[in-house]
Amino acid sequence: MSGNGTTAGDDPLQTAVWRLRSRACWADAAALLRPDTPTASLQRAALMVERCLYTERGWEEAEDALRTAEALAHTDEERGAAACERGQLAYAATLHGVRDRADEARAALGRAAALIPPGGAGRALLDFRRGLLAENLARSPQAARAAYRRAHAGATAHADPLLLSFTWRHLAGLALRDGELTEARHGFAESLRIREELGYLVGTAPALASLADAESEPEASRLREEARRLFRLLGGVPTWLARQLAPPTPGTATA
């Protein structure tokens, strides 16, 4: 999803949806949307899918919302967007160990790629999600980097700052893995800057923690403590961040 509701001039409904979404209130945000049009049903499904990725719950609600979006989709662009969300839900279920749906994720994103034309508004998000599959399921950092770069270029072309915050962060993560500290630090810092400017609170703690991994002490500890504060403020969301923010066990060595 793009950063709907984050700029001046947006309608009040989208502004309200964005504010709730950015504070990890996906169900409340979805409740504001009447799923009686393709656009609204797709946005509602995307909110519920995002909740699954961040909280590891709400799977049935996401499936229901997605089926509604798929039923209402009529154009290739709408069908492609629904397939992109289907792929993301299957990816999230596989990533979190709910059920292995990797083949379904690949097939759904493949359908989306056949429906969303290169240069289309939804192509950048699709490329990013294909990068996630390549990095985290196929364990292919080279393919992931190529997909993230395509997504980064598309997000730039379509002025999607929220997606840019994701592409910056994931490209920086690959750079850090390769030992490119300067490049990693720059990418993580850009991701954090964008998320703070947008007020994307639920994504700020992960951005802080990622930047901490590329910084030296005492800055790294300061960033992690700030990430822990936001993590607690949002009730332990995103759930997967708990492992990254866990303090080292006394008496054990740290990398």
DSSP annotation string for 76-115? HHHHHHHHHHHHHHHHHHHHTTS---HHHHHHHHHHHHHH
| Residues of the chain under the 50 pLDDT cut | 1-8, 250-255
Q: Which residue has the tokens 């909280």?
A: 55
Say if residue 82 is exposed, middle or buried (CB neighbours under 10 Å; 0-12, 13-18, 19+). buried
Domain boundaries along the sequence of the chain: 18-116, 150-240
Report the pLDDT value the prediction gives residue 35, as an integer from 0 to 100: 85
Report the pLDDT value the prediction gives residue 95, as an integer from 0 to 100: 97
Give dist(CA 159, CA 153) in Å, integer.
10
Give dist(CA 32, CA 11) in Å, integer.
13
Answer for the pair 208, 230: CB distance below 8 angstroms, yes or no: yes
Q: Which residue has the tokens 């160990």?
A: 97
Tens-place pLDDT, residues 47-105? 999 999 999 999 999 999 999 999 999 999 999 999 999 999 999 999 999 999 999 99
Q: Which residues of 108-131 are buried (b: 16+ CB within 10 A; e: fewer)?
A: bbebbbebbeeebebbbbbbbbbb
